[in-house]
Structure 1
Amino acid sequence: MRRMSDEEEMQVNENSENVEAKQTNEQMEKSDTEDHKDHDGEHDNDEAEEGGSVQKDNVKEKMDKGKKTVPGILYLGHIPPRLRPSHVRTMLGAYGEIGRIFLQPEDKMVQRKKKKAGSRARNFTEGWVEFRDKRVAKRVAASLHNTPMGLRKRSRFSSDLWCIKYLHRFFWCHLSERLAYEQTVRQQRLRTEISQAKRETNFYLANVEKSQNLEKLRKKKEKRGESMTEKTWDFTQRRTEDEIRQSRLRKQAMSKKSLQKAQEKMCVIEEKAQSNVSLLAKIFNSSTEQS
């Protein structure tokens, strides 16, 4: 009986050891699975956070694309003397970001007259200013119109006023097209003037040559003793205003004379009619007396 108890104790110990080993293995497996789950959850959270940030960035980019800054152009109707594009940029640059500036210079004829007078100052007549954002351009046009250019009393342009207008649906390409059109028109005008001057000079030179040839012929004929017959122009000249007025007055005078003649004829006819009436009265009166 004692031997059996020892064997049983050995078996019980072995079974308990096996159970403990199984339990430890199960605990290790559970811990590993929990660790894997925790790591998986962290990875999922990180991926979710990254996906949310990417979506937010995409949304911001779309919003930025939807709200593109459209440039706006201002028209400057009055530009005082000694005002340059650098001055315009410094004055208006305080209100917003400025892109391109163009000031229309004076005509070349005016510049030539100034040079002859002794002044070499180059002035401008009108200008265009491009703002990066059209909303800023609208605000600037609404706030600065009819206000003094210089904020300080000692500035050059304190006595001058801004003449600004915002140009709706006007872009810089329109301005370049307009300038190109004006340049082409100017070139065409110069070409026509040059061609007309060439025609006049050629006509004058041809007439000079003709006159010289005619003089040579006349001198030759004079030496021979022959007479030179000059050609006459066979065409009717247009009447002047004085001649037209005189002809109208003559017509009116003729009409007055014709009226007078007609009145005289009517008087003669009436006299004859009265004489015939007297004769008829005598004839009929005599016939009544006899009856």
Structure 2
Amino acid sequence: MKRKMADTEQTNGDDTMISSITKQKKKEVVPGVIYLSRIPPFMSVKKIRDIFSEFGEVERIFLQPNERGANTKKGRLFTEGWLEFSNKKIAKQVAVALNNTNVGGKKSSQWYDELWNIKYLHRFKWAHLNERLAYEKEVRKQRMRTEISQVKRQAQFHIRNAEGEEVKKHIQERKRKQGKPVHGEKDGSVTETIFVITQKDTEEDRMLNKKRKLEGKKDTSISMTKGKKEVVRKKSAAAHSSFLKNIFSGGLVEGDS
């Protein structure tokens, strides 16, 4: 009797070992995520689940809505998507088999000639996608806050300018009633003041101006030296001609008696 009890205990121990091994095998099944870089126009989440459920168990789907595209009666527009299969082996097979292939279905379908652009995301988990979406959401909020604050600053600036103009007009009107001169008015007529704003010269402009001044001085000095040389040449020519006249006239000059 004791021997039979020991045998039953041993068999029960083996059963528990087998059950623990099977549970461990079940735990080893890891989900896999595939990425759809393009979603055919107006294809819904339900339609994508129906298509990919033919290859394996689809757990979760997320499609990124197209913020620029308007929703119509045909459906909603999406830009990209992520699908999580319960088994990553199936996810890999689906990505390899369907990438750059036609969506197919009935020939009358609007997606018949569309192509799948699918990639298996190695070591990618759904938690990573949640982190990314949360980060993008926070970035959009921050961008929205920045734009709102900028619009508020612009509005306040215009309001202050408008209020300043109103105050200025009120002061001018009060001065007119008191008979005091108003700035910008002559004989009851308003003269428009024109402000001329000149840009400060850059270093390159200053160098060019300096070069032009040097070239101008050089040209004037050259012209002056040329004028002096011309005067000297004329004087020497006149002296030479008078010397020749004295020689050939025997030292007599016209007008001498």
Tell me if TM exceeds 0.5.
yes
User: What TM-score do the two structures reach when normalised by structure 1?
Assistant: 0.64
1:207: which partner in 2?
161
How much has 1:41 moved relative to structure 2?
A: 4.5
Matches of 2:3 and 2:75, distance apart in 1: 78
2:138 corresponds to 1:184: yes
Q: Deviations over 1:207-229 (max 9, x none)?
A: 22221122122112112211123
Q: Which residue matches 1:19?
A: none
**1:93-148 deviation digits (Å, cap 9, x = unpaired):** 111111100111111x432xx77xxx674211110001111111111111111111
Which residue of 2 is the match for residue 197 of structure 1?
Answer: 151
How far apart are the structure 2 equivalents of 1:204 and 1:120? Answer: 44
Q: Mark the CA change 1:240 to 1:88 in structure 2 (over 3 Å): closer, same or farther.
A: farther
Give, in angstroms, the shift of residue 197 of structure 1: 1.6
User: How many residues align structurally?
Assistant: 221
Assess, with a 3 A threshold, how the Cα gap between structure 1 residues 47 and 217 changes in structure 2: closer, same or farther: closer
- Structure 1 letter corresponding to 2:94: V
Which of residues 13, 20, 27 is equivalent to 1:58?
20
Is 1:220 matched up with 2:180? Answer: no
Query: Of 247, 253, 259, which aligns to 2:218?
Result: 259
Q: Distance in 2 between matches of 1:269 and 1:228?
A: 62
Corresponding position of 1:275: none
Deviation at 1:151, TM superposition (A): 4.0
The Cα shift of 1:257 comes to 2.2
Q: Name the aligned partner's letter for residue 110 of structure 1.
A: G
Counterpart AA for 2:127: C
Query: How far off its partner does 1:178 sit?
Result: 1.3
Letter matched to residue 44 of structure 2: R
Task: Find the counterpart in structure 1 of residue 43 from structure 2.
Answer: 83
Cα 1:247/1:156, change in 2 over 3 Å: same
Please tell me whether residue 166 in structure 1 is matched to residue 125 in structure 2.
Answer: no
Q: Structure 1: which 5+ residue stretches go unaligned?
A: 1-38, 272-291
RMSD: 3.5
Distance 1:60 1:229, change over 3 A: same
Structure 1 residues 223 and 56: CA distance shift in structure 2, 3 A: closer
Secondary structure class of the residue paired with 2:63? strand
Alpha-carbon distance in structure 2 between the residues aligned to 1:210 and 1:178: 48
Alpha-carbon offset, residue 237 of structure 1 = 3.7
Q: CA shift at 1:166, angstroms? A: 0.8
Give the structure 2 partner of residue 92 of structure 1. 52
* Counterpart-to-counterpart distance in 2, 1:183 and 1:59: 43
2:143 alignment partner, SS class: helix
3-state SS in 2 of match to 1:147: coil
Structure 2: state its 5+ residue gaps. 185-192, 231-257
Query: Quick one: structure 1 residues 263 and 98, their matched pair in 2 at CA, closer, same or farther if it must change by over 3 Å?
Result: same
Q: Is the 8 A contact 2:44 2:75 kept in 1?
A: no
Question: 1:255 corresponds to which letter in structure 2?
Answer: L
1:166 and 1:72 map into 2 onto residues whose CA distance is 8
Post-superposition offset of 1:150: 1.4
Is it true that 1:134 corresponds to 2:96 in the alignment? no
The letter of the residue matching 2:23 is E
Give the distance between the partners of 1:89 and 1:120, measured in 2 at CA: 18
Q: Whose helix proportion is higher, 1 or 2?
A: 1
Cα separation, partners in 2 of 1:94 and 1:240, compared to 1, 3 Å: farther
Identity of aligned residues (%): 36
CA distance in 2, matches of 1:240, 1:138: 65
Contact 2:69 2:77 in 1 (8 A): no
Query: Does the aligned pair in 2 maintain the 1:75–1:128 contact within 8 Å?
Result: yes
Tell me if structure 2 keeps the 8 A contact 1:150–1:156. no
Q: Report the secondary structure of 2:158's partner residue.
A: helix
Question: Which whole-Å CA distance do the structure 1 matches of 2:170 and 2:7 have between them?
Answer: 115
What TM-score do the two structures reach when normalised by structure 2?
Answer: 0.72
State the distance in 1 between where 2:10 and 2:75 align. 69
